[in-house]
Structure 1
Amino acid sequence: MADRLRADAQRNRAALIAAARDVFAEHGLDASLDEIARRAGVGNATLYRRFPTRRDLVAEVFAGQMTGYVELAETALADPDPWAGFVGYLTRLFEAQATDRGLSELLANSGFDDDERLAGLLATAQRGATEVIQRAQSAGRLRDDFTREDISLLMRANAGVLRSSPDSGAWQRYLSLVLEGLGVSKDL
């Protein structure tokens, strides 16, 4: 009987994480926990037993997605063209923001520095972003004054574009304008 309960508990936990991922993606980090429990097919007590705080649930949901964020830099660094790697990095980052409101809020605000897993993944992702930037700058393609902190500014601005624009593709137009402003012309 104990094994059955353990299997049920695992299923409930997995259902809560899957439901939370969907609800956070749709509604952001302040989404209703009641809605998460409802979609997972469990009661609120089960949600709070597995995840005593919203922060615990957010950390569990986004630890896997932050791993994907780390991989964005690795993909960019593998591109033989430093500028194309940088452009691809920003494009995938902005696209992730556009498709997942919760991830967008997490990346734009970095408000979970007190969670060891997320903080570690964020630090790794930031190191990778710095390498992507420096590589494009060394190739003479990215303006010299651009820093990793500027990516945070761009992400906050993109979050605003995503929230305020009725056009779901507005982020792509915004990104195009940003890239034109950041690039160094080879003709100079």
Structure 2
Amino acid sequence: MSDVKPMRADARRNYERLLVEARRAFAERGVDASLEDVARSAGVGIGTLYRHFPTRDDLIEALLRDRFDTQAAKARELLAAEDPLDALYAWLVGFGATSSSYRGLTELLADAIDDPRSRLHASCEEMQTAASHLVDRAQKAGVLRADLTVRELLLLLHGASWGGTHLPGDGGTERLLSLVFTGLRASEQRGQRGGARAG
């Protein structure tokens, strides 16, 4: 039986308002947006914000939790896909969209991989675990470089996500990721078109 008490109605309303305003602020100004401004826009004091979200990472984790859960579930689903390279690429595109949701988020996630103190570290480990099964399957099938590690793959993804924000128009992250993915194919697969949309 859980010892966690349900939130009072007014606390729940404050919590939801803070998430709405944080989502808007981060979308407009990036993850470094003022938390004081977020609290003010939500109609609460900064103390109320910190009671719900003790750190900025706690707030970001709350905003992205559904997306992380979706990505973990998608990885499990893609393990049954016919083409293991296409499956890995599809998962990376989805996670790339998550990691580039807000300006500055890519750098936070890249740092959190190596920082157990970060509230985002557990989510990064969860994504590494999800990716590892897809990577292992593609490597065993001989279609992905055998020397590639999951950590390297996620850092390459973060790089593509960051770079994609500096290209004009939409789809920058996917464009860069498709270019990177060509070099991740097993040597005998390079130069062949089709699969993973990279060629």
Coarse TM-score class (shorter-chain normalised): 0.7 to 0.9
Asked whether the equivalents of residues 74 and 91 of structure 2 are also in contact (C-alpha less than 8 Å), the reply is: yes
**1:5-28 deviations in Å (ceiling 9; x for gaps):** 931121011111232233334433
Tell me, in whole angstroms, the C-alpha distance in 1 between the residues paired with 2:169 and 2:191: 34
1:82 Cα deviation after fit = 0.8
Q: Unaligned 5+ residue runs, structure 1?
A: none
Q: TM-score, normalised by structure 1?
A: 0.78
Alignment of 1:2-13 (within 5 A): 6-13=8-15
More helix by share: 1
Tell me, in whole angstroms, the C-alpha distance in 1 between the residues paired with 2:173 and 2:140: 27
Tell me, in whole angstroms, the C-alpha distance in 1 between the residues paired with 2:94 and 2:142: 22
2:170 matched residue in structure 1? 168
1:158 matched residue in structure 2? 160
**Deviation larger for 90-99 or 12-21:** 90-99
Which of 64, 68, 76 is matched with 2:78 structurally? 76
Dislocated runs of 4+, deviation >6 Å: none
Number of residue pairs aligned between Structure 1 and Structure 2: 183
Tell me, in whole angstroms, the C-alpha distance in 2 between the residues paired with 1:29 and 1:162: 17
Corresponding letter in the other structure for 2:76: E
Corresponding letter in the other structure for 2:70: G
Asked whether the equivalents of residues 99 and 105 of structure 2 are also in contact (C-alpha less than 8 Å), the reply is: yes
2:67 matched residue in structure 1? 65
Which of 122, 142, 145 is matched with 2:144 structurally? 142
Q: TM-score, normalised by structure 2?
A: 0.75
1:139 Cα deviation after fit = 1.2
Which of 112, 116, 119 is matched with 1:113 structurally? 116
Tell me, in whole angstroms, the C-alpha distance in 2 between the residues paired with 1:100 and 1:181: 27
**1:71-108 deviations in Å (ceiling 9; x for gaps):** 34223213222111111111112222344446534433
Tell me, in whole angstroms, the C-alpha distance in 2 between the residues paired with 1:158 and 1:92: 13
